[in-house]
C-alpha cells in the first residue's frame, strides 16, 4: 500500500489523473456470490462481456476465457444475460 498523501498533495476537485490507480483496489472482495463460467457450454456470444458493469469478463481473441475475480462484484448480470438455452454462467455462494 502506497504512503497516504496529505491534503496538500491532492488534485483539485478530487479528480484522479491516473485512472489505472483504481486497479490497486481489489473490489472483488465485496462479492457474496461468484459467477462460475463453463467453458464447454459457452458459445462466445459475448453478451456477458458487453453487459458486465465492471470489466471482469476476460476475453482473448474474441472468446471468453474466464472471469477476473479481483474485480468481479458478483452482481450476476452476466449469468442473467447468458442465453437461456446455453446457461454457461451460474451463480454460486462465495466461500471464503
Partner 1 sequence: MILAKTGNEALAYAMKQINPDVVAAYPITPSTEIVQIFAQYVSDGKVDSEFVAVESEHSAMAACIGSAASGCRTMTATASQGLMLMHEMLFIAGGLRLPIVMPIASRSVSSPLNIHGDHSDSLASRDSGWLQFFCETVQEGYDTLIQCVKIAERTSLPAICAVDGFILSHCMERIETFEDKPVREFIGKYKPNWNLLDIKKPILVGPATMQDYFFEFKRSQIEGMNKALPIIEEVQAEFKQKFGRGYGVIEEYRCEDAEAVVLLMGSACGTMREAVDEMRNQGKKVGMVKLRVFRPLPHQVLAESLAKFKTVAVMDRADTVNAWGGALFTEISSVLYDSPTRPKMLSYVYGLGGKEFSLADAAAVLEQAHAGKKEDLVTYIGVR
Q: Which is nearer to partner 1, 21 or 36 (CB)?
A: 21
72 binds ligand SF4 (CB under 6 A): yes
Q: CA separation (Å) from 40 to 7, 86, 89, 95?
A: 51, 10, 11, 24
Binder of ligand SF4 out of 27, 44, 58, 94 (CB under 6 A): 44
Q: How far apart are CA 41 and CA 75, in angstroms?
A: 21
Q: Which is nearer to ligand SF4, 16 or 43 (CB)?
A: 43
In the complex, minimum distance from the CB of residue 66 to ligand SF4, in angstroms, rounded to a whole number: 10
Binder of ligand SF4 out of 57, 58, 70, 85 (CB under 6 A): 57
Amino acid at each position: 500500500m502506497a504512503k497516504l498523501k496529505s491534503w496538500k498533495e491532492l488534485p483539485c476537485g478530487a479528480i484522479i489523473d491516473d485512472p489505472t490507480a483504481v486497479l490497486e483496489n481489489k473490489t472483488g472482495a465485496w462479492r457474496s456470490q461468484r459467477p462460475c463460467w463453463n467453458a464447454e457450454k459457452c458459445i462466445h456470444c459475448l453478451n456477458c462481456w458487453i453487459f458486465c458493469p465492471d470489466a471482469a469478463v476476460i476475453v482473448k481473441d474474441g472468446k471468453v476465457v474466464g472471469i477476473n475475480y479481483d474485480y468481479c462484484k458478483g452482481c450476476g448480470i452476466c449469468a442473467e444475460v447468458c442465453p437461456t438455452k446455453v446457461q454457461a454462467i451460474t451463480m454460486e455462494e462465495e466461500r471464503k
